[in-house]
Structure 1
């Protein structure tokens, strides 16, 4: 198992995704093992109304897209959310840790499981299918 640390890969999610502010839900990649698992973080600077819980699912999907894509910039799209649970509220000033792992890959699809935590508390968990590449 090889984790690429920040010095060995581009930690900027914008290098991998077409999303830009305000729709880019990740600030920095912390660890990336392509096709296996990844971790990222997001510092919430807006009021709680500006960061709905559904954005936590989007954060997992974006990290999953980076994780499952084969090349920088390849990206992907959210096909389905099979399961999602929410466990807390996001507040301004929170630093979120997003984790995702590939459960299974099949062709240009990947089954992803992920969670968002803050201070050790689970704020969201989801299982989703992502399509890799452009539509």
Structure 2
């Protein structure tokens, strides 16, 4: 992924299954995250849009790896194109570890659609369907 600190929101890819279009990633949420300074100082909660962004980053990784496995050469940039049916179930707090489970629904050379589920301690905290445009860099 081209993302870097402070906007790289995935700590590690823990599983990649290209034939079944699945990836699993994790994020260790620490009290030192910049966004906790203002969201919210007395009750720190990870912003939902950043959970979605982390989900999108894991999905982008899957999309790029799939295209490379199919023989695509060069580098790709994955651009957010849309969000469907995002739901936030529980707040994510400092000390939580988020596991992102991403499934590719439709990944082509120019567009991708994924379903993402974010879990903390086995409980769903967020789920969404995301779309992205893929551009050769």
Q: Same fold (TM over 0.5)?
A: yes
Q: Which residue of 2 aligns with 1:33?
A: 17
CA distance in 2, matches of 1:73, 1:106: 15
Normalised TM-score (structure 2): 0.78
Partners of 1:73 and 1:39 in 2: CA distance: 22
- Number of paired residues? 119
Q: In 2, are the aligned partners of 1:26 and 1:40 still within 8 Å (CA)?
A: yes
Please name the residue that 1:60 is paired with.
Answer: 55
3-state SS of the aligned residue for 1:133? strand
Correspondent of 1:86 among 76, 88, 91: 88
Cross-structure match for 1:74: 76
- Whether 1:105 and 2:107 are equivalent positions in the alignment is yes
Please tell me whether Structure 1 or Structure 2 has the larger radius of gyration of its CA atoms. 2
- Give the CA deviation at 1:73: 5.2
User: Is the contact between residue 82 and residue 130 of structure 2 (CA under 8 Å) also seen in structure 1?
Assistant: yes
- Give, in angstroms, the shift of residue 34 of structure 1: 2.9
What's the Cα RMSD here? 2.1
Runs of 4+ aligned residues of structure 1 deviating over 6 Å after TM superposition are none
Shift of 1:134: 4.5
Any stretches of 5+ residues in structure 1 without a counterpart?
A: 1-16
* Among candidates 7, 27, 32, match of residue 42 of structure 1: 27
